[in-house]
Amino acid sequence: MSNEETSVQRTQHAFLVAWGRFAEGAGLIQKIQAVALKQKTRTHCPQSKVLEFVVGTLAGIRHWQELSLSAHPLDRDGAVAEAWGQAG
C-alpha cells in the first residue's frame, strides 16, 4: 500500500463525507457541475457555490457565516471537500 492509501484525514463531519461519496456515486455532483449558471468565477465557480450550499444545508447550519466561524469550520475540512469533489 502507498502512503496515499493508508493516510487518514480526520474530520468532525463524517456523515458529510459519506453523503459526498453517495452524491458522487449517484451522479449528483456531476449534474450540478454541468448546470450553466450566469455568475462570475473568481476563486470558485458558481456550481461550487451551489454544492457548498447543499453541504451546508446537510450540515444543519442556520447562518451562512457558520461555514467559516463555527467551532469546527466546514470550509476548512479537506475530507469533506474531497468527498464532494471540490478543491477546497
| First vs last C-alpha separation in the chain | 26
Q: Indicate the pTM of the whole model.
A: 0.75
State the pLDDT at residue 8: 57
State the pLDDT at residue 79: 84
Domains of the chain, residue spans: 11-83
Axis crossing angle, helix 14-26 with helix 46-59, rounded to the nearest 10? 130
Give the C-alpha separation, 87 to 47, whole Å.
13
Q: How far is CA 60 from the centre of its chain?
A: 14
Q: What is the pLDDT along the chain (88 residues), one digit of tens a residue?
A: 445 554 557 777 888 889 999 999 999 999 999 999 888 877 778 998 899 889 989 988 888 888 888 777 887 888 888 888 887 6
State the pLDDT at residue 26: 96
State the pLDDT at residue 41: 78
